[in-house]
Amino acid sequence: MSSSPTRPPKQQAPALTCDCHFHIFGPYDKYPLSAGRTYNPPPALVPDYLAMAEQLGIQRVVVVQASVSGTDNAVTLDAVRQFGQHRARAVAVIDDTFTARTLQQLHTDGVRGVRFNLASGNGTPVEQLETVARRIAPLGWHIQVYIDGDTLAEMAPTLAKLPVEIVIDHCGGVKSALGLEHPQFRALLGLLDSGNAWIKVCSYRVSSTGQPWADPAPNVQAFVARYPERCVWGTDWPHPQMNPLPEAGLLLDQLFEWVPDATTRHRILVDNPAKLYGF
């Protein structure tokens, strides 16, 4: 099977909801995986994604370049072309060899941020963080970071001082069992307090109990209570390296349950992504 199944959520997402985090893999005869990758995902193609998005009511999308594709962003840019820039943006992976001209072309192609993945391997070396930040600052792009809670606590002061906005993947990687008073979580809040950072409230990867991944509710609710204007949401479809696979419909149901206020949900699903990604 090529990708994760889902069932319809109890309630469809509001109009212009944006899925701010998912990946496209393949077709591999056209877009082969990077030699430096650390896992081998099955193909997850644009038509498969659209079938899921239609069930949830997702109308805007942000395709995130995955570690398995390295710095060759062709698969991600092709997905943006297929979706159309009226509803799609991309987060690319680059390194310090990318020229200003190449970056400008990526901007034209719909890129609005770059990802540093310190969790899955095969990412841009963290030593290039400040160089890359300076290069992308004139374009108004952000840096998206995928790291575990321990590393985030160490890097928070550095991230807060960068000349671009920061977008933090997967609830900052702080496992829910650690609790809201743990130094990792306090460091994450400190970074968000800087006013320079956003958080993706895709939460199942910080679950300490596993399926149905309900235990990160307090983490998500803490972010939403303190930073409703800087939370965005994503499905993380097709849920790479997860077994069992989450259902995107269930994940949307959880957001509705954990954020009962419709106005706040609208900010997270519609207004905040429109601002962050320039829709």
pLDDT for 6 equals: 82
29 pLDDT more than 50:
yes
User: Which residues form the catalytic set?
Assistant: 236
| In the chain, domain spans | 18-277
pLDDT for 1 equals: 39
- What's the average model confidence in pLDDT over 68-90? 98
Tokens of 237: 């479809």
- Torsions phi, psi for 243 (to 5 deg): -150, 115
Please choose, from the candidates 237, 199, 235, 234, the residue with its C-alpha nearest in 3D space to the C-alpha of residue 219. 199
3 pLDDT more than 60:
no
Q: Where does the pLDDT of residue 124 fall: very low under 50, low under 70, confident under 90, or very high at 90 and above? A: very high
Domain 18-277 sits in CATH at: 3.20.20.140
This model's pTM is above 0.85: yes
pLDDT for 113 equals: 98
pLDDT for 4 equals: 61
Going from the C-alpha of 203 to that of each of 116, 152, 169, 261, 279, the distances in angstroms are: 19, 16, 9, 19, 24
pLDDT digits over 216-248, tens only?
Answer: 999 999 999 999 999 999 999 999 999 999 999
- What's the average model confidence in pLDDT over 6-18? 95
